[in-house]
Amino acid sequence: MRALVLLLLLSLLFPSLGRTEVMERVVGVIGGEVFTLSDLEEAAGHFGLVRPRAGNPFEERLRLEAFYREVWERLVEEEILERETKRIGIDVKDKEVEEVLEQLRKRHRLSPEEFSKELASQGFTLESYKHYLRTQMRKAKVVEAFIKPKISMDEEDLLAYYEEHKERYLVPLRVRVSHIFVALPRGSSKAEEERTHRKMERIVEALQQGRAFEEVASLYSEDPSAKYGGDMGYLSAKEMDPQLWEVISQMEVGEISPVVRSSMGLHILKLTERQGERPLPFEAVRKRVMEDYYKEEVQRRYRQWLKEAKKRVGVQSKI
């Protein structure tokens, strides 16, 4: 019953989805200019957006409603940027768009034909991408003219931001690991595999007899860490072979693993210490904090500018 009610409501929003009547339905007004669904369809191409398709009519209507709302929001921003940059005399010239377009093509070392194909793979024609690029350049000009000059980064603001977002500035989980390693690359001969496994059996036997891990590592390990008793120091997940990390992350401090295979060979691991995540001191991450704070302030102030500009221009939504 609830699905039928939703379907009825969507039918009222999009009466028939057969083309003519629906496409001319008014979806909103921007600065006194009326926009219809056909305008949204055209605008979608400028944004590289594709009209959704679904397996059943009900799901398609739901997706279509969300699609039109997204296109409308982007269209409103585009129209506001065009009107405001023209009003204050900082609009983007055709020459500027062409220059940036050429820079992008050369940066990626693409011929004009290859560049057009790359744009097509992202849902753009060359003209629709120019349209999209012009809007992004207008936004950049607004940010440079009205947003960035108002941003200050006082020490108090940075410290407050750091305290509020400490979870972003953590020393990752690290473990201190020792290992005994015997090389056995993938694709080794059968004879090499047999030799390596016999050596590993002697190592396991020595550990089972109670010999110290460090002593056995010094005698048998083929890794440079052998001279330190197998100690590899402190490592994070990014610094370890994924197969080894999967094993070590489940071990207790002091525990010795069974034989573990990696792409390089065979290992026996010993977890000697685990350090949990902890916040880095402010001074150590000050530069990152400044960058993050600045980016968020630009975004926050731009959203505020856009909100005020909408009121100034006059935006009414019917979608």
Residues 93 and 129 in one domain: yes
Give the integer Cα–Cα distance in Å for 135 and 172.
40
Per-residue confidence (pLDDT) for residue 231, from 0 to 100: 97
Per-residue confidence (pLDDT) for residue 24, from 0 to 100: 80
Q: Which tens digits make up the pLDDT trace of 256-287?
A: 999 999 989 999 999 999 988 889 999 999 99
Which of the two residues, 79 and 319, has the higher pLDDT score? 79
Residues 121 and 91 in one domain: yes
Give the integer Cα–Cα distance in Å for 138 and 63.
30
Question: Which tokens is 111 given?
Answer: 């011929």
**Which residues lie closer than 8 Å to 75 by C-beta, 6 or more apart?**
30, 35, 39, 40, 43
Domain hosting residue 222, numbered range: 173-276
Residues 10 and 145 in one domain: yes
Give the integer Cα–Cα distance in Å for 13 and 222.
71
Residues 199 and 300 in one domain: no
Which pTM value belongs to this model? 0.67
Task: Residue 46: name the closest of 124, 155, 140 by CA.
Answer: 124
Residues 162 and 302 in one domain: yes
Residues 140 and 266 in one domain: no
Residues 32 and 101 in one domain: yes
Q: How many domains does the chain have?
A: 3
Task: Residue 309: name the closest of 41, 84, 15, 87 by CA.
Answer: 84
Residues 264 and 294 in one domain: no
Report long-range pairs for 148-154 (Cβ below 8 Å, ≥24 apart).
Answer: 148/298, 150/301, 151/294, 151/297, 151/298, 151/301, 153/290, 153/293, 153/294
pLDDT band at 14 (very low <50, low <70, confident <90, very high): very low
Residues 29 and 107 in one domain: yes
Per-residue confidence (pLDDT) for residue 54, from 0 to 100: 66
Residues 212 and 319 in one domain: no
Per-residue confidence (pLDDT) for residue 39, from 0 to 100: 94
Residues 140 and 187 in one domain: no
Pairing of strands 231-236, 26-30: unpaired
pLDDT band at 49 (very low <50, low <70, confident <90, very high): confident
- The burial of 112, by beta-carbon neighbours within 10 Å (0-12 exposed, 13-18 middle, 19 or more buried), is given as exposed
Residues 40 and 141 in one domain: yes
Mean residue pLDDT across the chain: 89
Per-residue confidence (pLDDT) for residue 263, from 0 to 100: 87
Token pair 């902890």 is at which residue?
A: 278
DSSP type of residue 243: H
CATH of the domain at 244: 3.10.50.40
